[in-house]
Each structure stands twice: as structure tokens, then as C-alpha cells.
Amino acid sequence: MDPRLNFFGNAFAGKVLKHINSASKVVSESGLPHATQELVKIRASQINGCGFCTDMHTKDATAAGETQQRLNLVAAWREATVFTDAERAALELAEQGTRLADAAGGVTDEAWQNAAKYYDEEQLVALISLIALINAYNRINVINQQPAGAYKPGQFG
């Protein structure tokens, strides 16, 4: 499969990605645990069918020390016993924030209140921002049909 266009080699796309990547860097340096960030990115990418991002974030998580068992169970996190209550709250918020079109009410108060039990205000801002950013990356890559499989951990710095 070939991408529809060379998005990563396009000068205009580079300008757009510069700003998205800057926002992503701020989020990655927040107080939101790194493992939680990767789990959220993986789950949103799975929901959106973004092979490129799923490949990237599972490889980055592995390189950061995440276990294969937890990575294998991200899609079935509700039934898995390997995630903390805080991670489960973040995954629920990520799912509801990613599936906005599937739920007339958006993110439920219950999901929000559960996340707020585990994350302070700055971490919640980081979590909301992370969910928005990974959905933006997913949409770029899915629309462009960016192929998956060739990503190397740390490839984008």
C-alpha cells in the first residue's frame, strides 16, 4: 500500500505538523504518566483504525519498557486485570472522547468524574489535549492511507 501523497515530505504539511508536534511535546512533558499516554494513544488509534499510529505507539511503548501482555490487552482493557484504576479511567475517557459521533451526549459525567479521581487539573488538561492530538494524527494518517509497519522507535525524535 502506498500513501495517497507524501504527507511527511510536503512543505505545507510540515508547517501544520510543526504546530501539532509542538503541542504533543508539551503534553508528553506534562505530569501525565508516560505509560498512560502511550496506552491512550494506542487505544484511540485502534478505534480510529490508524495502523500507522498503532504501529508507532506500540513500538514506542515497548521501547519504553511496556509489557507485551498489556499491549496485547489494550483493545480489551475492560476485561483485563493488568491496568491500574487510573489507567482504566484514562482509557475510558479516551474511548468516549474518540467516539464523540457515536454518543449524542459526548463524554459522560461518570467517565469525567472517574478520571478526576486519579488525575489533577493539569493532568486532566494533558489528557484532554492528548486525546484531541492523537485523534488529529489518526485522521491525517487514515485519510492519507499512511502505511503501517516500518516505524522505528524514536524515528520522529
One pLDDT digit (tens) per residue for the chain, 157 residues? 899 999 989 999 999 999 999 999 999 999 999 999 999 999 999 999 999 999 999 999 999 999 999 999 999 999 999 999 999 999 999 999 999 988 777 899 999 999 999 999 999 999 999 999 999 999 999 999 999 999 999 888 7
pLDDT of residue 45: 98
Q: Which pTM does this prediction carry? A: 0.96
Nearest to 44 by CA among 78, 75, 68: 75
20-144 belongs to CATH 1.20.1290.10 = yes
What does 88-140 look like in DSSP terms, one character per residue?
Answer: HHHHHHHHHHH-GGG-TT-S-HHHHHHHHHHS-HHHHHHHHHHHHHHHHHHHH
